[in-house]
Amino acid sequence: MGGYRLKNGGLINRDKPVSFSFNGRKLNGFEGDSIAAALLANNVQQVGRSFKYHRLRGVMSAGPEEGGALFNVNDGAKRIANVKGTMAELRPQMQVYAQNAYPGIRFDIGAINSLFAPFLSAGFYYKTFMGPMRSTSFWMFCERFIRKAAGLGTASREPDPDSYDIAYGFCDVLVVGAGPSGLHAAAELAEQGRKVILVEQDFEAGGSYLSSGRPEDLALRDQLIRRLKTAGGQLMLRSTAFGLYDGLVTGVIERLTDHITDPDPHCPREITHILHPRHVVLATGASERGLAFGNNDRPGVMLAGALRSYACRYGVMAGGSAVLATCHDGTYEDAIMLAGLGMEITLIDARNRKSRQYQAASAAGITVLNGKVPVNVAGSSAVAGIEVADIDEKGVVDKVTTLIGCEVVGISGGYSPVIHLPSHRGIKPRWEASIQAFVTGQTSENIHVIGAADGVFEASACIDHARQLCAKMMGKKPKKQIRRGIPGGQRPLFEIQIEGRKLKSFIDPQHDVTSEDIRQAHREGFVSVEHMKRYTTLGMATDQGRVGNILGLAVMAQAQGLAVGSSGVTTFRPPFTPVSIGALAARERGADWRPVRRTPMHYEHLAAGAVMTDAGAWKRAWYYPKQGETIDDAYIREAATTRQNVAMVDVSTLGKIAVQGPDATEFLNRIYVNPFAKLAIGKARYGIMLRDDGMVLDDGTTWRLAEDDYFMTTTTAQAAPVMQFLEELLQRRWTDLKVHISSVTDQWAGMAVAGPYAREVLSAQFPSEGWSDAAFPFMGVREITFAQEGRDIICRVARISFSGERAFEIYVSADKGAALWSSLASHIKEGGGCLYGMEALGALRIEKGHVTAAELDGRVTLEDAGFGKMASKTKPFIGSVLRQRPHLIFENRPQLVGIFPKDRTGRFSAGAILCHPDQVSGFGEGWVTAVTHSPALGHWIGLGFISGGAEAWQNKTVMVADPVRDNFVEAEIVSPHMFDPQGGRQHG
Amino acid sequence: MLRIDCPFCGPRNHDEFTYLEDGSVKMPALANSNKNAWYEAVFLRENPRGAHIEDWHHTQGCRMVLRVKRDTLTHKITSVVPAHPEYKKMLASRDKPVRPSGKKSAGARAK
């Protein structure tokens, strides 16, 4: 007979048929189906192959504990792997593919693995690749075959075309799980005036109400949802609470479009909600767990409760006849419901006494056999029947088995509360004998576990539990004891073994872990739960061991001769169910990964044809090519023009800090290595600061504008760290200093005009000012006020030079930057000058041996960078003590040098290693930090560090080794000041 | 995610803050030239299991350095105050504002 759809019933919308494909085959289902329900309705029993042995897999459950029905969904870039068919909503034109089966489910090459099963047992990889065959090359040879054979779905290799978002939310109470307990708690708390958010991972609220088959339950559900919403509560469907974090911050993933065929392109596929609740109520329910017996992974073996879910919620019968194997009363109700819908049922109960439900079951036409357990499933690709045997009071199973023919087998070993979220908070679970499972232990946090999640399985007790929690939160004392467990009790039952018979009993069907693997772990000494988990991989699949964890612990406990539950349980960690990486990244990807910073002259650069480059978050002009110019042509022309005529560069990205207050001078004197106490008003000084450990932090110029007012500049790269360090010093260490600092980087646009004719440009721009060397000497600072559109504009000018030419740095209010830039640019153009970008700036500073972040990488001392003489001997400063550590004043430390290729036509790259010519190996003697073609010298030059510095390498040859680019060039070491070492050009 | 209750801005997610360092470490005076004293203050840290005093910088907020008492085992934060003693005093007596220097504010004088 096989699986079929009932003529009526279920929560599906029979007016909306849905066509979809499975492995390319067209099938039909209804709106409201899960993928698994629709496959069962079409009598598709084999839905995939297992992870290791490639055994056939069928649908095993109806929830997140699924270990069989895992699919690849969609084609191309939108393909998603490991989709749980029991959770995913069916939608029109959905393309569903089986996983881990090549070329097809029925004939699968990997299934040959099961013949090698004795070799592929627990610890196979460690023993093979860390044992006698240990070598990297052997692993690398085998890896590609193993990777192809093992594993589950395959992710798309294309960029994810979907968008995701992140949202923050706040509430008084977050209720997780919209089953009977959660709905009652949420509705009552909302009516008491709490701000309540109720999240449910399913696409329908109701939990066990959905599969009860009782219309009155659905009516109650609808009423509770109405009460919740009327009272202002919020219900979020398709939303999984995947992690519970510090301060009860809860991560919730909401799936918005996977169930829609043509979603609004602007709608994100998923939203990550970061919720901040005051209280968390966990009504996460319980997972039914299976039993370990022979071939219990055959397609057609399912959890008993899942058979009922498919029948009552989806109107799908998984088969015409079933054997239900149980050890408690819960399954009787499932059996009666299924029998009423036309399934032929034999119920075998491990308990020897007759259940209170026996009469009702018999009356429903069910054959009930007491004191019997399932032993082995008959049939190879599907269930043909099941061997059952007698079990005595002590748990000994008779060797004589009877075969009962059936199409499906429903099993139940009891229910395990879902305790993953409290486990995320580090709350240790406690073994509860009455339900043979773990429940959440004590916690001082505002986490409340109710209903089946706390082992309360009776529907009316769940409602009492929810009400009692609401009363407790209102400050009332609990009235009565809530009873845990299944009414009628249960017999502890985990694995069925028969003496002298080898059964292939699966504990974790998703990872192909058998009871024999657990016993092997025991024999080899991996007995603690954490060791067993890692050795066998039990519970490490996407279901996190929901079905198999307790079974595995029970098998191990039996092997050790201990009581089940005495071993504790492994810690569950987020996420509760798999979460898309895209949803965690949300908007922070591509161009939105971080904010873009543009200088006030950004659009002037674009208009001038600049090619832009990234410098941290900044966009900077790289070079300004003329028609047909390459980058090399352009920067060499720009640098040469600067040296011969005049040019301008945008320096707005430099960090700028206003340092103000009566103790500003003292403050600067403490943070810079060189003296700042006597800097005159209207003068700038180049300064270097160290970290506490004596390494160089940053360099830059600081301008004294008034007695108590300084304008500090930092490098672009270190602007933020320097600001933070200065704030830290003033707030933690030197709390008596009266200094105020503020970052003014974004307030000032900066531009440097450099070259022999810089003076002419400035005097054309500001004709009323004096620009002679006497009127405006080197390191001089002045403020210029000019009128624009009837307003006075102030700009700050300093005669400082990074290029080594006569140069002026001009700062103006950011909103006036573009106008001043354009005006200066037109004066420069008139005189035959040009604009220059980062590349030419680099060439000019390398020629001069001026350092930047490439050299000051945090591992460099003052002496290494050639600034040893700048350090004051008369005052203490930050880093002045620890810079004297023996290893930092060691003579042979690598020091800043210039590098010329011996053959002046040669060239080399930054990052190359400087080696002794007859020992080109290892770490070498130093490294290259920056290179450029020098227009002034007419050949390639570099900056770098080498042991002992330039003096130690006089008249010697070094090898610039670049094995990555296969470039080896002989070079000579020179002073880092390769052009105009006396500085005549900038001073003149 | 930690929530730090900034005394200036209110409770905020910890990703607005930068962890600076152990707040119980006292740096030597600048004039102290004892290498060992600096070495200990800069490099040596306790790694306690339990109560820990730490300084956090509210980088994406008020940019104040805050002294946080946090349990490294439970992540529970029991106190957040400004690291600067004068600001701490000022917040403790919000009704009578004082300047960081300790003098009464201009506003208070005018009364």
Q: Which residues of B touch A884 (CB under 8 A)?
A: 35
Answer yes or no: is pLDDT of B109 > 60: no
**DSSP secondary-structure letter at A177?**
-
Is B107's pLDDT higher than 50? no
Band of residue A787 on the pLDDT scale cut at 50, 70, 90: confident
B110 Cβ under 8 Å from any chain A Cβ:
no
For residue A859, the distance in angstroms to the closest alpha carbon of chain B comes to 16
The pLDDT of residue A52 is above 90: no
Chain A to chain B Cβ contacts (< 8 Å): 68
Q: How far apart are CA A323 and CA A946, in angstroms?
A: 80
CB A205 within 8 A of CB A187: no
Query: Same domain for A6 and A99?
Result: yes
B48-86 pLDDT, tens per residue? Answer: 999 999 999 999 999 999 999 999 988 899 999 999 999
How many Cα atoms within 13 Å fall on the side-chain side of residue A74? 21
**In angstroms, rounded to a whole number, what is the distance separating the alpha carbons of residues A459 and A144?**
51
pLDDT at residue A76, rounded to an integer: 86
Beta strands in A77-182 (DSSP E): 80-84, 95-98, 164-176
Q: Compute the average pLDDT of residues A702-723.
A: 97
Interface with B, mutate which of A697, A726, A731, A740 (most B CBs under 10 A)? A731
Instruction: Classify residue A621: in a domain, yes or no.
Output: yes
CB-based contact, B44 to chain A, within 8 Å: no
**This prediction's pTM:** 0.86
Closest residue of B to A883, CA-based?
B35
To the nearest whole angstrom, how far is the Cα of A735 from the nearest Cα of chain B? 6
Q: pLDDT confidence of B106, banded at 50, 70, 90?
A: very low
Verify that A146 and A204 share a domain, yes or no.
no
Assess contact for A609 and A621: CB atoms under 8 A: no
A53/A83 same-domain check: yes
d(CA A710, CA A742): 11
Q: Are residues A221 and A139 in the same domain?
A: no
A23 and A117 co-located in one domain: yes
* pLDDT attached to residue A543: 76
Cross-chain residue pair A732–B2, CB shorter than 8 Å:
no
pLDDT at A320 over 70: yes
DSSP single-letter state for residue A159? P
Task: Determine the pLDDT at residue A307.
Answer: 98
List beta partners, residue B55. Answer: B21, B67
Q: Cβ of B19: how many Cβ atoms within 10 Å? A: 11
Query: Alpha-carbon distance A929 to A908, whole Å?
Result: 11
Contact A876/B30, CB-based, under 8 Å? yes
pLDDT at site B111? 37
Question: Which pLDDT does position B100 carry in this prediction?
Answer: 55
pLDDT at A695 over 60: yes
pLDDT average, residue stretch A264-289: 96
* CA separation for the pair A870, A882 (Å, rounded): 17
Write out chain A residues lying below 8 Å of B43, CB-based: 693
- Tell me whether residue A488 is in a domain: no
Element (H, E) at A742: strand A740-743
Q: What is the per-residue pLDDT across A345-386, written as a single tens digit (0 to 9) for each?
A: 999 999 999 999 999 999 999 999 999 999 999 998 999 999
Nearest C-alpha in B relative to A720:
B59
Q: Are A440 and A307 in contact (CB under 8 A)?
A: no
Structure confidence at residue A99 (pLDDT): 85
Distances (CA, A) of A351 to A414, A494, A497: 13, 13, 17
- Pick the closest to residue A90 from A142, A48, A157, A30 (CA basis): A30
- The pLDDT value recorded for residue A733 is 96
Nearest to A269 by CA among A166, A197, A169: A166
CA distance A483 to chain B (A): 32
Q: CA of B37, closest CA in chain A: separation in Å?
A: 10
Whether B32 has its CB under 8 Å from any CB of chain A: the answer is yes
Residues 6+ apart with CB under 8 A from A692: A878, A879, A882, B27, B38, B41, B42
Alpha carbons A281 and A91: distance in angstroms, whole number: 32
Domain around A278: 164-286+416-473
Could you say which of 3.30.9.10, 3.30.2270.10, 3.40.50.880, 3.40.50.300 is the CATH number of the domain covering B3-97?
3.30.2270.10
Residues A48, A194, single domain; the answer is: no
Question: How close, in Å, is residue A421 to chain B by CA atoms?
Answer: 15
pLDDT surpasses 90 at A591: no
Q: Are residues A793 and A820 in the same domain?
A: yes
Which of A609-618's residues contact partners 24+ apart within 8 Å by CB, and which partners? A610/A835, A610/A837, A611/A837, A613/A837, A613/A838, A615/A653, A615/A716, A615/A717, A615/A838, A616/A716, A616/A717, A618/A653, A618/A716
H helix runs in A439-589, sequence order: 459-473, 515-523, 529-536, 549-560, 581-585
Q: Are residues A634 and A752 in the same domain?
A: yes
Task: Find the helix or strand (DSSP H, E) in which A16 lies.
Answer: strand A13-22
Does residue A527 carry a pLDDT above 80? Answer: yes
Residues of A in contact with B1 (CB under 8 A): 245-247, 249, 274
Q: Are residues A808 and A904 in the same domain?
A: no
Question: A661-683 pLDDT, tens per residue?
Answer: 999 999 999 999 999 999 999 99
CA distance A354 to A67: 33
pLDDT tens track for A833-886:
999 999 999 999 999 999 999 999 999 999 999 999 999 999 999 999 999 999
Other Cβ atoms within 10 Å of A596 Cβ, number? 12
Closest CA to A163 of A261, A259, A256: A256
pLDDT number for residue B108: 42
- B2-58 residue pLDDT tens: 889 999 999 999 999 999 999 999 999 999 999 999 999 999 999 999 999 999 999
In this predicted structure, the answer to whether residue A198 has a pLDDT above a threshold of 60 is: yes
Please list every residue in chain A whose beta carbon sits closer than 8 Å to the beta carbon of residue B34: 881
* Mutation for testing the A interface, residue in B38, B59, B64 having most A CBs under 10 Å: B38
Identify the CATH number of the domain in which residue A254 sits.
Answer: 3.50.50.60
- CATH number of the domain encompassing residue A702: 3.30.70.1400
Q: What is the ipTM of this complex?
A: 0.87
Let me know if residue A489 belongs to a domain.
no
Is A881's CB within 8 Å of B18's CB? no
Query: Within an 8 Å CB–CB cutoff, is residue A732 touching chain B?
Result: yes
Average pLDDT over every residue of A405-420: 96
Taking residues A901-916, report their average pLDDT. Answer: 96
Structure tokens that stand for A559 in this block: 């092997």
Contact A885 B35 (CB under 8 A): yes
For A706, counting Cβ atoms within 10 Å of its Cβ (0-12 exposed, 13-18 middle, 19+ buried), the class is exposed
Last residue of a domain, one of A393, A412, A431: A412
Q: Which residues are paired to A971 by β-bridges?
A: A901, A958
What does the mean pLDDT of chain A come to? 93
From CA A241, how far away is CA A453, in angstroms rounded?
Answer: 14
Helices (H), A862-952: 949-952
For chain A, the residue count is 988
pLDDT in tens, A496-510: 999 889 999 999 988
Quick one: what percent of chain A has pLDDT higher than 90? 82
Q: Is residue A314 part of a domain?
A: yes
Q: Is the peptide bond before A478 cis (omega within 30 degrees of 0)?
A: no
CB contact at 8 A, A64 and A577: yes
* Same domain (yes/no): A173, A219: yes
Residue A107: predicted pLDDT = 63
CA distance A348 to B63: 69
Number of domains in chain A: 7
Question: Does any domain span residue A92?
Answer: yes
Q: How confident is the model at residue A126 (pLDDT cuts 50, 70, 90)?
A: low
Q: Do B33 and A245 lie within an 8 Å CB cutoff?
A: no
A738, pLDDT greater than 60:
yes
- Is pLDDT above 80 for A824? yes
Residues A687 and A724 in one domain: yes
Which chain B residue shows the shortest CA-CA distance from A248? B1
* Cβ neighbours, 10 Å, residue A82: 18
Quote the radius of gyration of chain A (alpha carbons, Å): 38
- Assess contact for A661 and A872: CB atoms under 8 A: no
Domain containing residue A59: CATH number: 3.10.20.440
Helices H / strands E in chain B, number of each: 3, 6
Higher per-residue confidence, A558 vs A51:
A558
A587 has a chain B CB within 8 A of its CB: no
Domain assignment present for residue A881? The answer is no
**Structure confidence at residue B105 as a pLDDT band (50, 70, 90):** very low
**H or E stretch including A971?**
strand A967-974
Higher-scoring residue by pLDDT: A732, A101: A732
- Of A245-249, A305-309, A626-630, A639-643, which range is least confident? A245-249
Residue type, B57: H
Q: Residue A590 has what pLDDT?
A: 85
pLDDT of residue A677: 95
Largest Cα–Cα distance of chain A, in whole Å? 115
Question: Binning pLDDT at 50, 70 and 90, where does residue A614 land?
Answer: very high
Do the Cβ atoms of A928 and A911 come closer than 8 Å? Answer: yes
What are the tens digits of pLDDT across the range A130-143? 655 566 666 666 66
| Confidence check: pLDDT of A37 > 70 | yes
**What's the rounded mean pLDDT across residues A810-819?**
96
Within this chain, do residues A137 and A265 fall inside the same structural domain, yes or no?
no
A19 at B interface, C-beta within 8 A: no
Is A554 a member of any domain? yes
Cis omega (within 30 of 0) for bond into A575: yes
